[in-house]
Structure formats: structure tokens, C-alpha cells
Chain A
Amino acid sequence: MKKIQTDLLQGTLDLLVLKTLQTGPTHGWDIAQRIQQVSRDVLRVGQGSLYPSLHRLEAQGWIASEWGASDNNRRAKFYKLTPAGRKQLSAETETWRRFTGAVELILKIS
């Protein structure tokens, strides 16, 4: 299966990051891994877009960061959803669903 470039759709990556963080705080590498795994290797997140996205979300106040220890006791920056981020996630999920539903409808007709 061909891999999809995630930066094709603006904002999509932000949604995926928020969704990934819903299960609990984690660091950047882990976020990328999980997206890759859950999408069964279809979506690969490059570092070049992941970190700007994380910092953008942080600047928006939707996620917060703090330094913690990773599994093998190395210093890593952990990100977690803020209450505002949670609200944003549900709003964006809703928007995404309506969008893809609409696209689906059109694809079916033609």
C-alpha cells in the first residue's frame, strides 16, 4: 500500500495528534509511532511536520508540555491535552466526519 503524505491536508495532522493524546500524555516520537501503527503503516508522520504541529498546538493552548522521563529513563518532553484541546478535538472530529461524509456521498453518486 502506498504511503500517504500527511501534510497534504492542512489541519489533519493536528487532529491526529490531538486524537492520539486523548489516551494520555506522551512524547513526540511515541505520537508518530502510534499514528503509524494505528493507521497500519498508511500514515507516516515525518519529524519535519510533527514538531511544528506540536508547537503550533501548544501555542494555541490546546496541548501543554512538560519534561519527564521516558521508558528507559531518558529526559523527554511529554505532551498532554488541555481542557481547551479536548473541546477542540471533539469540534474537529465533528467537522472531519461531516467533511468525509460529504465527500463520500459525492463519490458514491458519481
Chain B
Amino acid sequence: MLNKLRLRIRALLFKSRMEDELDEELQFHLAKEIEQNLARGMGHEEARLTALRSFGGVESVKEESRDVRGVRVVEELWQDLRYGSRVLLRQPGFAAVAIITLALGIGANTAIFSVINGILLKPLPYPEADRLVKIYGSFVALNANNARLSVPEYIDFRQLTETFAASGVFDNGSANLAQLEAGEPERVERANVTPEMFAVLQVAPILGRIFTQEEAQAGRDDVVLLSHGLWQRRYAGKADVIGQKLTISGRSHTIIGVMPPGFAFPPKVEIWEPLWFSKEQYDQQRRGSRGLEVLARLKPGIGLNRAQAVLDRLSAQLTEQYPQNYGGNRRYRMTVTPLLDDFVGNLKPTLLLLAGAVGFVLLIACANVANLLLARAATRRQEMAVRLALGARRGRLVRQLLTESVLLALAGGVAGLLLAMWGVQLLLRFVPDSLPRLASVSLDGRVLAFTTMVSLSTGVIFGLAPALQATQADVNDALRESARTGGGVRQQRLRSAFVVAEIALALVLLAGAGLTLKSFWRLQAVDSGFRSDGVLTLRMLLPFTTHPKASQRATFFAQVLEQLRAMPGVAAAGAVSRIPMVPGNNSGTMTAENSASRPTSDPNAAQVETEMRWASPDYFQTMGIALLSGRDFNEADLEGALPVAIVDENFARLFYPNENPIGKRIKRGGAQSTLPWKTIVGVVRPVRNQRLDATSLPQAYFPVLQEADEMYNLSFAIRSSGGEPLALAQSARAAVLAVDRNQPVYDVKPLGQIVGESIALRRLAMLLLSVFAIVALLLAAAGVYGVIAYSVAQRRHEIGIRMALGATAGGVQRLVVRQGLTLATIGIGIGLSAAFALTRIMGNLLYEVSATDPMTFAAIVLLLAAVALAACYLPARRATKVDPMISLRYG
């Protein structure tokens, strides 16, 4: 065995020496033969000839001996590669066009794949991350998904120990870290987690310990775990950090542990504090106050479907047990979502759609290169015919031609990889940071393997048909035919088929791009309910620890607002619990008193899931949210004054369709809720609070100065009196710091940017689809041009005869154009039916545009037809320039 291997390696490495030895051995044999013949008494010449004759073909002996060495395939491959590269180098123009075309296709695929690889394929950085799931509630009838859980719901969920190995609750946000020395505080991402969370994530601290159950309660919870990064940054990785004090948002904590490097849950979090539930939260009355984010680990062997079935059973039980919470037409359902899916959210279908689109681009590129190869095959027909006549096997020739096309594809792959490296950089610049897992997008081994695979298979895909065509030549015909013809009907048909396919694929891409473009255009016209231009927003945290009293907090915010309003260039300023379209949600049940349409006696009708915000006076004016009736909040709406609320038009219409809502009373929670009634003092326009492309639930606002509990994490909006909003950023920062040096300001952004981020994914998909569609259109145009031009060149003789017989230039032009338009029409027909079927899957990318929008389809059909016509124009003109005399004599 070893010996065999040694021989083969020797055969490969010392090929020429082996050949020489074989030669010498055969020469020796021949010499001995001649010697013997001489001994038999033959003459010199006769002896040599006899020996040679009996020896047979020296070359075939050599060939057979080589076969024995078992390396012929490798040797031939090497031969083919050298021959192939020589052939390609001899036609640099052809090679360049083919390689660029392929580089576009492969590069686009590699770029999209590296994004998919980073976001969808790489596992999350937790042990056995595929068993981690998020638990949500959804009200199917209300179309409200991903609602959090309330404490009573979580307690019920925790009984399912047969299905879920462990579960924990977390709540994340940001916190202010006091500096070790004096200085501005640092803002870090923080999470409060229940002690079980570390068991769910299967992670242990590298230093110190995790929380105990005893530390998850009021008064004992002043302990904190640090991320590895924070430990390195602040404490230079010193082990004596355990036991040290750290002031977080004004409250002193004891550091009890350091997590391993790279660990962060949720992503980006750097400090973990204990999470616990208050006695009130356990109250069944609070079943409807849903604020818990739940992470669970599936037991080994339990699939998603089984887990969901278990949750469905629990949901049915709950609905029966607590009809006032889940009953009626709400259809509550607890759901299980893989953690990875939860992170990537609606990115997944969009990425898969883009992958499909680039796949189409690659197919078009393949068709184009195949057509180039076919045209070239026609000129190489004689070469192939001669080689077939000399005894080359067809399989061998096909293999050689395939080697050439794979070589082309690999070159295209290398160029594509470079293009992709650049493209990914460009892509990441267009993608907002808010998209998940961007950091894990890179060109890694898997991406390289993907590109190699794509290149190799691309080479075979576009090379096979031309190779089979080229080697099919009837030797006699090919040798007899002059260089003028070649190809023939069959080849022309194949080339036409490729062009038809290209046009069809391009049409599908154009349809996709056109529909997203139209959706985007529609979105631009959407009324968000506020005016985003000229508004700057910023956020800050006001810890309870530093401003424990409601009056202190109210004073603080009043001062900040006063400072902001006093700034030059500011027209208005206001505060709100959350700026519209900033990710995050705060909704809850609201009940109306004495609503004629929804009487309190019917618990299902009287309460409605409502988005709630807390706003300062002048907030609506700053944001440009129209006050339809009643009054704005004012400085008198303080704690202790009459509780008031402002609702939006939808809320008013729902509860008071034929009445004036001003003066009516509403309260948070269900009919039994003991929370105070609030009197409606105003009605405002509805606002798109979540995203520009999603309508919102009914909305209610409460005065922020009246509810100290909500004065914690506030956002400010500042309307400039004309200038660029970002120009106010510096002075706004200074204004806040002037009130309190210890409160960092963050997320300073123009409101327009926040609105843009809410549709960033859509914008990205639109941009990419448009780019791909344009590339596809250009490639298809090049394909049409190539085929028509080639056919004109071939038909020069025929055209010459036609002109000699009196055909006009216009007639000839029509002849050529008709050929191109026929191809285009067939392609458009096929493409239309494919597009009608495929655009359906774009559902979530479309906005108020039907997947078969007739206007869009009509426009792209016209565009494609016009491009095809333009691609025919040059060849058609060339056809009319044919001089009948010349073409008849020499053509």
C-alpha cells in the first residue's frame, strides 16, 4: 500500500524522470531485439526494421504504462489547466468579459451569503444555543404578538418542567456608572436577571459567584456581576475586584463576580443585577400587567412543535380559568420562539429573499457566459473536429472544455470575492447599527467554501451545454464547412433559449425591485401623525436613588425643559416617556367609564389594549402632533391635582363614537382595577408609535409631572426655529449638564433619523433589490445584444441576397428587430408568470401595494421591452450596412 502511494507520488513529482526511464527501458529492449536479429544474420537496416515492426507502437506502450501508474487523470487535468489558461490568455477580451460578468454574479452571492452566514447561520454564543427559546404571549384576535408575560403568567409557565429544563426572567436597559475618579458618568447597558438565568444560559462566572436566591429580594439586591470587558476596562483585570463597591445609577453595589470573555446576555450588556418580583406583582389582579421577558431552555429531545403544543394546552387552561383576562374574542396564546429567530426577527425572510434575488443574478450571468462560450465554440468547431478525427474521445474533449469554463469561473470567483469584501463593507455602512448580530458578519472559512462551491458549480452549469454542443460536431461537416458558418440552427436555438431565460429572470427581479420601490414611495407619503423635520431628540436616565422624591424629579425635569426652551434657535421643547418609533413598547389595558358603545358591564368590551405614554406640556406642539379638541397638559397637572389624560382620535372613536370624549373618565387595568380614574382633557391625532409602516393601537397620554413613577427614563424633543436640528446638539447637552453634572445625555438624534431607522431594513432591501435588478437588466441587455449581433453576422450572406433582391434598409432593420422582440416577448411572458407566482412571498416587504400591482408590472414590461429594443438597435443598423456585393462574394 505504502509502496503504491510512493510510486504514485513519484510518478506525479518526477514525471519527466519517469518518462525518461520508460523511454530508456524501451530503447534497451529495442537494442536487444536488433542485436538478436543481427545474430540471426540479418543486415543492419533489416534488423532494425524487423525489430521496430515487432515492437509495435512505442507511444501506445508508453500510454498503457502511464495508465498503470494511475495518475493519468491528474496529469490530464494539469494539461487541461495549462491548455485552458493558454486559450483564455489568447483571447483576453473574451476572458475579461466573462470574468467580470461572473465576478458580478459570484460577488453579489458571496456578499449576501456572508451576511446570511453571520446573522442566520452562526450559532449564538451560548452553549447549546439552539435549545434557548423566548416565551411570549399573543392575542391572536387583536393581532398583538410578542406581548410579555405577567408574574402570575410566568408562575403558571414555570410549572411546565416536563418541557422546559430551566427558565429565567430578564429586563434590560442602561445605567449610569459613576467613575472611579471624578468625571462624567459612563452609560453602560445593564440587565436585571433572575438567578436562574445563568442556569438557562449554562454559563458560570470566571471569578466570584452568581446571585443567590436570597439576593433576589428587596434590600439584599445590591450586588452586581461584571462583564469580562468592563472588568478589563475599569479594573485592568485585577482579581481583587470581588467585594469592591460600584455605584450604579447612584446606588452602591458590591461586585460579586466576573463573567467569561465574550459573554453578554442580552447582547451588549455589561452589568447584571438581581431581578425580583414585588408582592403586588404576584397578585392575580395583576395578571394583565405584562412586563416580563422570559428566556427558557428546552429539555433535550423536545422539539419546538411539542413545546408549542404544551403551551397551547396551558393557554387553553388559562382562558378557561381567567375569562376576564383571556376570554371573549381575544384568543390568548403563549408562544415559543427560538432565541436566534427572536434576535434576527423580520431580517430572516428579507435576507432569504435577497439570497433568492442574487441567485437569479448569478443565473443570468451564467446564461450570458454560456452564450459567449457558444459563440466561441463555433469558431473552435474545426479544432474540435480535427481532434475528434485524430481519435480523441468526446468525453475527454468535454472534460477539457469544462476545465476551461471552471477555470473561468474560478477566476470570476476570485474577482467576485474581492468584490464581495468591498460590497460587505459598503453594505454594513448602509445598515443601521440597530440590526442584530452585525458584528458576526465577516468573510470566514464557510464563506470561502461557499464561494468555491458556487464558482465550481457555476463553471459546470454554464460550461456544460456549450461543451456538449462543441464536441457534437459531425467531423465531415465541420471540416468541410468554412469558417463563415458554424453553429447552425441547433446552436442558435440554444442561444435564444438562454436569452429568453435571462429576460424572464430579469423581469422577476425587476418586478421585485419595482414593488419594493413603490412600497417605499407609498411609505414616504404616510402620515406619521407628527412632523419629524427640525426636531432633535435626546434621552436621559434619572435614577430614583439620586432623586427619590417626586417633587425633586418634577423640579429637575422642569428645570431641564426651561433650560432647553431658553436656548437660542429653539422654538419649542417637550418631554415624553418614549419618542415615537424608538424601539420598545409600553401598552396595557385601559377601561372606560360609562361608554355607551362599550359598557363597563361587559368586561370584554369595556377594556382595550392601549399604548401609553407620559408627556410634558408642549410635547404635542414640539412634535407637531395636532391637538384636535380640548387642551394640552399644563404646569398645573401635578401630583395631587385632578388626574387627567389625553387620548388619540382612535381611542375616542372606539369608546365615544357619538359623544364628546372631553370630561369622560378612563383608568388603567380592567373593570376591577383600583387605579384612579383619569379625566380626558384633550384629543390628539393618532401617531405611528412603532414604525412608519405599522399602524398603532389606540393611544393615551398622561402628564409626566403627575406620575413620579414614570419619571425615570425620559426623552426630550426640541424643535428648532429653522436651523439644522443637529446644530442644537452641543448646547442641548450643555443645558442638561448645567442642571445636574451627573446625568449623562445619550441617543442625541434628529427625529428624522429615528423615523428612517424604523424602515431601515425596508430601505436596505429596496436598495439591494434595485441594484440587483439593474445588474440583471444590463446583463440581459448584453445577452440580447450578443445574440442578435451574432445572428446578424451569421446571416450576412442571407441579408446580402435580400438586399440584392431589393429589400430596403428599413425592411432589413425590421427583420433583425423582429427577431430580438420575439425573444423578448417570450421571455417577458415566461417572466410574468414566474413573477406573479414569486412576488407573493414578498408580503412583508410590500406596503399598501399588491404583489401583482398592475401599474408596476406594466412599467417593467415596457422598460424591459424598450431595453431589448435598444439592444437590437446596433446590430440592426449594422445589418443595413451590409454591402450585397461584398457579402455575396466573400461572405
User: Which residues of A does B touch, CB under 8 Å?
Assistant: 27-29, 46-48, 51-52, 55-56, 58-61, 67, 70, 74-77
B3 touches A61 (CB 8 A): yes
Residues of B contacting A28 in the complex (Cβ-Cβ under 8 angstroms): 25, 28-29
B61 touches A47 (CB 8 A): yes
| A88→B60 CA distance, assembly (Å) | 28
Interface of B is mostly: helix
Interface Cβ pair total, 8 Å cutoff:
61
B57 touches A77 (CB 8 A): no
A29 touches B70 (CB 8 A): no
Q: Which of A28, A52, A74 has the most CB of B within 10 A?
A: A52
Q: List 30 A-B contacts (CB under 8 A).
A: A27-B28, A28-B28, A28-B29, A29-B29, A29-B32, A29-B33, A46-B56, A47-B56, A47-B61, A48-B55, A48-B56, A48-B57, A48-B60, A51-B61, A52-B64, A52-B65, A52-B67, A55-B65, A59-B4, A59-B7, A59-B70, A60-B4, A61-B1, A61-B3, A74-B28, A75-B24, A76-B25, A77-B21, A77-B24, A77-B25
Give chain B nearest CB distance to A6 CB in angstroms.
Answer: 13
Q: A28-B25, A47-B54 are in contact. List 7 more A-B contacts (CB 8 A).
A: A46-B56, A47-B61, A48-B60, A52-B64, A52-B68, A59-B70, A60-B4
Give chain B nearest CB distance to A82 CB in angstroms.
Answer: 8
Give chain B nearest CB distance to A20 CB in angstroms.
Answer: 15
Residue B69 CB within 8 A of the other chain: yes
Give chain B nearest CB distance to A65 CB in angstroms.
Answer: 9
| A47→B64 CA distance, assembly (Å) | 11
| A19→B358 CA distance, assembly (Å) | 66
A70 touches B28 (CB 8 A): yes
Residues of B contacting A48 in the complex (Cβ-Cβ under 8 angstroms): 55-57, 60-61, 64
A51 touches B26 (CB 8 A): yes
Residues of A contacting B32 in the complex (Cβ-Cβ under 8 angstroms): 29, 70
Shortest 3 CB-CB distances between A and B: which pairs?
A52-B64, A29-B32, A61-B3
**Contact bitstring B1-21, A, C-beta under 8 A = 1, else 0:** 101100100000000000001
Residue B31 CB within 8 A of the other chain: yes
Give chain B nearest CB distance to A35 CB in angstroms.
Answer: 14
User: Which residues of B does A touch, CB under 8 Å?
Assistant: 1, 3-4, 7, 21-22, 24-26, 28-29, 31-33, 54-57, 60-61, 64-65, 67-70
Residues of B contacting A55 in the complex (Cβ-Cβ under 8 angstroms): 65, 68-69
State whether A76 and B28 are in contact (beta carbons under 8 Å apart), knowing that A51-B65, A59-B4 are contacts in the complex.
yes
A29 touches B28 (CB 8 A): yes
| A58→B70 CA distance, assembly (Å) | 12
Give chain B nearest CB distance to A59 CB in angstroms.
Answer: 5
Residues of A contacting B21 in the complex (Cβ-Cβ under 8 angstroms): 67, 77
Nearest CB to that of A82 among chain B residues?
B3
Residues of A contacting B64 in the complex (Cβ-Cβ under 8 angstroms): 48, 51-52
| A47→B56 CA distance, assembly (Å) | 8
A61 touches B4 (CB 8 A): yes
B68's contact among A47, A56, A61, A75, by CB below 8 Å, is which?
A56
Residues of B contacting A76 in the complex (Cβ-Cβ under 8 angstroms): 25, 28
B7 touches A58 (CB 8 A): yes
Give chain B nearest CB distance to A81 CB in angstroms.
Answer: 14
| A29→B1 CA distance, assembly (Å) | 28
